[in-house]
């Protein structure tokens, strides 16, 4: 192998899979590792595999021809604006419309406090960038969204999980964790929470606990980052009141059109107190100058001319039917000792295998039987989740979900007999 004499490094030949730059990356790059979901996509996308793994919204349910016309019309009518650079904070009219969307969850906010981002994933990145120095602590539910955990680790944050049950974060656990960390002198920067139809657990923080979580964080002076991409996808009743609706100063709210419209537009947002908003805009400008004007205006047009509330209702009904297919099949087919959550919205069921089984070890056997899921360990930073799996019901048709659960139940039965 050739040798780079200046740096005493071994240089891999071109085309080799050995990374020749391995000892030159910044320290933060060591925290950037491929998620377990990513590795799975290649396998799970084979047509014979029923994928209960990915969290892809069912965009086929959109009126695609109408969206197409709207986009074409946008270019011919407003091309010089739509194809131009825009403001770092985002299109002012879209930010007004975003405030209308948030009103459905009890949030009364002005467009001036909204920053449009490239999906809520970028909002997570920006928030982490402006708050986290290496070693700072982020509190997060255990389990938590794998994409957020990846971002936190890319900025070398230490994630400390807070216990969660079927009603969301356990307030006592939150208070104890804060106390223990503070006693040990650890700098806690924020609580990251997905209070409604959580990814991956599918559970929702109940109303009483919402107030308790806000009180605990306010008393401790800890910022709350409320990530809420699924809030409008509830299967019964009115949308839950957002945490941000009851605390404007201590909560940064992250929203997204990825699940209520389509993730391909990559339009999300952060709603933040003024000072944080200013930092977010600066961070946004340094990252990408401005979001795509084109997709912002396309989403704005869609919200102006399309019955978007009706479309969300269509999505809710579609996902409800799929949730029912999954729960009914799990109830009918899974062996004793297996448990799972019963989501009232969103995309995910979180299952716990019978004692003694390991979900990561089970995955290759499941894939051999043509069904895929996400093993639980990726949703923890502390080695938790070995007996858990995330089962998504958002993408496959109900019959495929039933078939997928049947295959999975067979694999688990077999494993129990070994």
Residues lying near ligand PMP in the complex (CB under 6 A):
55, 119-121, 145, 147, 194, 199, 227, 229, 256, 258, 263, 268
Between 98 and 194, CB nearer to ligand PMP: 194
Closest CB 207 distance from ligand PMP, rounded Å = 20
**Best CA proximity match to 354, nearest among 335, 328, 378:** 335
Between 161 and 407, CB nearer to ligand PMP: 161
Closest CB 202 distance from ligand PMP, rounded Å = 11
Between 119 and 345, CB nearer to ligand PMP: 119
CB 145 within 8 A of CB 379: yes
Between 132 and 362, CB nearer to ligand PMP: 132
Between 198 and 377, CB nearer to ligand PMP: 198
Between 58 and 354, CB nearer to ligand PMP: 58
Closest CB 416 distance from ligand PMP, rounded Å = 31
Closest CB 55 distance from ligand PMP, rounded Å = 5
Closest CB 144 distance from ligand PMP, rounded Å = 8
Closest CB 194 distance from ligand PMP, rounded Å = 5
Between 229 and 234, CB nearer to ligand PMP: 229
Closest CB 293 distance from ligand PMP, rounded Å = 18
CB 416 within 8 A of CB 409: no
Closest CB 145 distance from ligand PMP, rounded Å = 4
Instruction: Spell out the SS3 assignment of the chain.
Output: CCEECCCCEECCCCCCCCCCCCCCCCHHHHHCCCCHHHHHHHHHCCCCCEECCCCCCCHHHCCHHHHHHHHHHHHHHHHHHHCCCCCCCCCHHHHHHHHHHHHCCCCCCCHHHEEEEEHHHHHHHHHHHHHCCCCCEEEEECCCCHHHHHHHHHCCCEEEEECEECCEECHHHHHHHHHHHHHCCCCEEEEEECCCCCCCCCCCCCHHHHHHHHHHHHHHCCEEEEECCCCCCECCCCCCCCHHHHCCCCEEEEEECCCCCCHHHCEEEEECCHHHHHHHHHHHHHHHCCCCHHHHHHHHHHHHHCCHHHHHHHHHHHHHHHHHHHHHHHHHHCCCCCEECCCCECCEEEEECCCCCCHHHHHHHHHHCCEECEEHHHHCCCCCCCCEEEEECCCCCHHHHHHHHHHHHHHHHHHHHC
Closest CB 256 distance from ligand PMP, rounded Å = 3
268-288 CB burial, b ≥16 within 10 A, e <16: bbbbbeeebbebbbebbeebe
Mutual angle of helices 398-417 and 359-368, in 10-degree steps: 120
Between 171 and 200, CB nearer to ligand PMP: 200
Between 102 and 357, CB nearer to ligand PMP: 102
Between 142 and 147, CB nearer to ligand PMP: 147
Q: Nearest-CB residue to ligand PMP?
A: 119
Between 177 and 198, CB nearer to ligand PMP: 198
**Best CA proximity match to 395, nearest among 308, 318, 342:** 318
Mutual angle of helices 92-103 and 293-305, in 10-degree steps: 50
Closest CB 15 distance from ligand PMP, rounded Å = 33
Closest CB 150 distance from ligand PMP, rounded Å = 11
């Amino acid at each position: 192998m050739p040798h780079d004499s200046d740096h005493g490094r071994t240089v891999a030949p071109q085309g080799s899979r050995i990374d020749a730059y391995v000892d030159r990356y910044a320290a933060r790059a060591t925290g950037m590792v491929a998620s377990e979901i990513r590795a799975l996509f290649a396998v799970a996308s084979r047509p014979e595999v029923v994928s209960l793994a990915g969290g892809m919204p069912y965009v086929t349910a959109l009126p695609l021809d109408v969206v197409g016309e709207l986009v074409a019309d946008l270019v011919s009518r407003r091309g010089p604006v739509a194809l131009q650079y825009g403001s770092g904070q985002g299109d002012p009219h879209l930010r007004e419309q975003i405030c209308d969307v948030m009103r459905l969850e009890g949030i009364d906010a002005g467009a001036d406090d909204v920053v449009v981002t490239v999906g809520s994933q970028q909002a997570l990145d920006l928030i982490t960038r402006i708050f986290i120095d290496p070693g700072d602590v982020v509190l997060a539910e255990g389990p938590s969204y794998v994409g957020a955990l990846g971002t936190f680790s890319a900025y070398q944050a230490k994630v400390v999980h807070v216990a969660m049950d079927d009603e969301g974060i356990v307030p006592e656990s939150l208070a104890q964790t804060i106390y223990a960390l503070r006693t040990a002198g650890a700098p806690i920067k924020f609580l990251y929470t997905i209070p409604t139809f959580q990814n991956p657990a599918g559970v929702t923080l109940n109303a009483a606990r919402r107030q308790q979580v806000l009180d605990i964080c306010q008393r401790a002076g800890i910022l709350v980052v409320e990530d809420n991409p699924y809030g409008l996808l509830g299967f019964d009743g009115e949308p839950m009141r957002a945490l941000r609706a009851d605390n404007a100063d201590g909560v940064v709210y992250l929203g997204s059109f990825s699940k209520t419209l389509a993730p391909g537009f990559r339009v999300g947002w952060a709603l933040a107190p003024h000072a944080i908003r200013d930092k977010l805009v600066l961070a946004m400008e340094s990252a990408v100058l401005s979001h795509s004007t084109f997709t912002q205006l396309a989403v704005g047009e869609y919200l102006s001319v399309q019955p978007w509330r009706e479309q969300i209702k269509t999505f809710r009904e579609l996902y409800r039917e799929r949730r029912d297919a999954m729960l009914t099949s799990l109830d009918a087919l899974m062996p004793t000792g297996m448990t799972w959550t019963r989501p009232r919205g969103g995309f995910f069921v979180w299952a716990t295998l019978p004692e003694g089984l390991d979900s990561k070890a089970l995955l290759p056997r499941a894939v051999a039987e043509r069904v895929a899921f996400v093993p639980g360990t990726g949703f923890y930073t502390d080695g938790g989740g070995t007996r858990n799996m995330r089962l998504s019901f958002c993408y496959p048709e109900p019959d495929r979900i039933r078939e997928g659960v049947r295959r999975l139940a067979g694999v688990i039965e077999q494993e129990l007999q070994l």
